[in-house]
Copies of this chain bind each other. A is one copy, B any other.
């Protein structure tokens, strides 16, 4: 889910001209990451994460003995990262070309919550 516009709106609303903007997932099976807004790439990430941290067999993970089956989602989240910190310059997110902020949910059963914290002046 591309959340770039939402974050841009919050930075504008904060009135901060020079500072830092932290954006993090509030769930430990989810990530906030910055990459390209290209649907093929987002598909590739899913396939690739499944290869590096497969969901099946569920019983391979001790965590799943708790009754959950989402241990792989905790691994996927570490690969993609919990958070991004973006510079704010002249009141705007200071992006390189193509940088877009995404929320990725790897468990899928939770309402999505993201924290955005803006500091500066």
**A residues in contact (CB < 8 Å) with B:** 18-20, 22, 24-28, 33-36, 38-41, 43-45, 48, 52-53, 61-66, 71, 74-75, 77-87, 89, 94-99, 113, 115, 117, 119-120
Q: Are B65 and A40 in contact (CB under 8 A)?
A: yes
The SS class assigned to the A binding surface is mixed
Instruction: Say whether A61 contacts B44, CB under 8 Å.
Output: yes
Known: A33-B78, A34-B82, A119-B120. A53 touches B43 (CB 8 A): no
Contact of A27 among B25, B94, B96 (CB under 8 A): B96
Residues from chain B with Cβ under 8 Å of A82 in the complex: 33-34, 81, 84
A74: contacting residue among B41, B64, B83, B99, CB under 8 A: B41
